[in-house]
Amino acid sequence: MTALERHPWNTEFEWAFSHGPKQVLTPAQATQFDTEGYVVLEAAFSADEIAEVVSELDAIEARVEQFLRSQADERMMIAEAGAITFSTHAVVRSERLRRFVGHPVFTALCADIIGPDANLYWDQGVYKKPEKPRRFPWHQDNGYTFVVPQQYLTCWVALTDATEQNGCPWVAPGLHRYGTLKHTYIEPLGYECFSEPSHRVAAPVTAGSIVVFSSLTPHLTGPNTTDAVRKAYIVQYAPPGARLQQGDPTAGPPTGEVTADVPERQFPVLRNGAPV
């Protein structure tokens, strides 16, 4: 692996994690999240809950796929028909999903990892198709859009069984403690922080389980080499007042910032330790 290079705007980062009482994480899981940057919660949701989420996302994703088919080369940015689709801001399109992102499992994770106050930051369905098997590069979520504070929470919810054959997550343990790394855009795959880490771990999970990781945990998903779609719902949470930095990192400091407070899709889920 090439030497790690910090993001130009990552100048004063220090990893912080409280080992106080937890609602859903066991002491061993809390230690793993602190030291490795990820943890797996098996069978976090019932089959009925997952079926409802899949029903909602399938309808949204069908429109996304149809739109991509109408574009030049059947793609837009890193989304591509028959390869990988991103159904962003699904909570705006589905009241059921809006309720789901406030599920007690999520609010407990927010309390355990973020603290007593948390907002939904981002949500998207990610469907990895079998027609055009491709990997997704090693990246950090904060490498796509630099957010301050750099630490926020990603919940990768498996809607179908996620295996090494159909594109389960892989993580590079421990590297979250460096903060945001420099990312380079790799056409047509997306942003990449390195080509290969010195150590990586697969996180295969069954439908209804969650791969929980930091916005700073380098991760990827491998190609889908099966004959079925691998489906996941990505739900992210950040502390109130999280700010998206604007500008060109190669040109100097940020030139501005935008607060993540769009009310229809970035709303409170936890206040003073209580679900909203």
Residue pair 33/109 in contact (Cβ under 8 Å)? The answer is no
Residue pair 244/150 in contact (Cβ under 8 Å)? The answer is no
Whether residue 248 has pLDDT greater than 80: yes
Whether residue 58 has pLDDT greater than 80: yes
Q: Give domain limits for the chain.
A: 27-266
Mean pLDDT of the chain: 95
pLDDT band at 2 (very low <50, low <70, confident <90, very high): low
Letter for the amino acid at 166? N
Whether residue 1 has pLDDT greater than 60: no
Residue pair 238/114 in contact (Cβ under 8 Å)? The answer is yes
Whether residue 247 has pLDDT greater than 60: yes
DSSP run (H or E) holding 33: helix 27-36
Q: What are phi and psi of 211, to 5 degrees?
A: -95, 115
Nearest Cα neighbor of 122 from 137, 138, 139, 106 is 106
pLDDT, position 191: 87
**27-266: what fold?**
Jelly Rolls (2.60.120)
- The residue assigned the tokens 């079998």 is 130
- The residue assigned the tokens 């590069």 is 137
* Paired residues of 245 in beta bridges: 257
Q: Which two tokens mark 135?
A: 């990997």
Q: What are phi and psi of 144, to 5 degrees?
A: -80, -45
Tens-place pLDDT, residues 172-189: 999 999 999 999 988 777
- The residue assigned the tokens 């009310």 is 263
pLDDT top residue among 44 and 195: 44
pLDDT top residue among 186 and 51: 51
Tens-place pLDDT, residues 135-168: 778 999 999 999 999 999 999 999 999 999 999 9
Tens-place pLDDT, residues 63-108: 999 999 999 889 888 889 998 999 999 999 999 999 999 999 999 9
- The residue assigned the tokens 């950040």 is 238
Q: What is the dihedral of CA 100, 101, 106, 110, to 10 degrees?
A: -160
SS3 content of the chain, % helix, strand, coil (to 5): 25, 30, 50
pLDDT band at 190 (very low <50, low <70, confident <90, very high): confident
Tens-place pLDDT, residues 202-246: 999 999 999 999 999 999 998 999 999 999 999 999 999 999 999
Q: Is the pTM of this model over 0.75?
A: yes
Question: Considering the chain, what percentage of its residues have pLDDT values greater than 90?
Answer: 88
pLDDT, position 187: 77
What mean pLDDT is predicted for residues 104-132?
96
